[in-house]
Structure 1
Amino acid sequence: MQAWPVQDAKARFSEFLESCLTEGPQMVTKRGTETAVLVPVDEWRRLQAAARPSLKQLLLSDEGRTELALPARGSARRRPPTAAR
């Protein structure tokens, strides 16, 4: 994956986009820090389809939620009660 400083990505956007389409995802850096990635739309759609649903989507869905992996109960430790003042 090639890294592009943000000013180069802006100034040479057509080349930046073409590199994304031919070579795959392209990293954008800002002040030397990785900031964003430009990916082809087909890969973006694949990633979106593979993403887990959000809590809001789960709660609003009509499907049963029995397949959700829930943590085992009883493994949490309780704090001792504090003295009343």
Structure 2
Amino acid sequence: MHWQVQEAKQRFSEVLRAAEAGEAQIVTKHGEEVAVLIDIAEYRRLRGEQVGLMAYLRADPLDDFDLDAEIDRRREQPRDIDLAG
């Protein structure tokens, strides 16, 4: 999403919420891109900093994967195992 500086200032909470949701927010000044607001976990990842587990999970790491993809599984029955043994 692109925001003019004045609009970004007026609607900062909305800009911030979108950035937290993982959507980079680009700020323009006189039609030129001058800044981008991103989620802190993404910023740390880009900087090469280690991210804690909770921050990683909050950043929704599965968002990049196609979870509706078909999975190719074997169709044969599992083997019998004697557990009494």
For 2:46, the aligned partner's letter is L
List, as ranges, runs of 4+ consecutive aligned residues in structure 1 with deviation greater than 3 Å: none
Q: After TM superposition, give the deviation of residue 19 of structure 1 in Å.
A: 1.2
Task: Flag structure 2 segments of 5+ consecutive residues without an equivalent.
Answer: 50-85
Counterpart of 2:75 in structure 1 is none
Query: How far is 1:23 from its partner?
Result: 4.4
2:34 is aligned to 35
Written as runs of structure 1 = structure 2, the 5 A alignment for 1:1-85 is: 2-49=1-48
What is the CA–CA distance in structure 1 between the aligned matches of 2:22 and 2:46, rounded to whole Å?
A: 18
Shift of 1:20: 1.1
| Displacement of 1:3 | 0.3
Aligned length: 49
RMSD: 1.3
TM-score of the superposed pair, with normalisation by structure 2: 0.54
Counting aligned pairs with the same residue, the percent is 47
Aligned AA for 1:44? Y
TM-score normalised by length of structure 1 = 0.54
Give SS of 1:24's match. coil
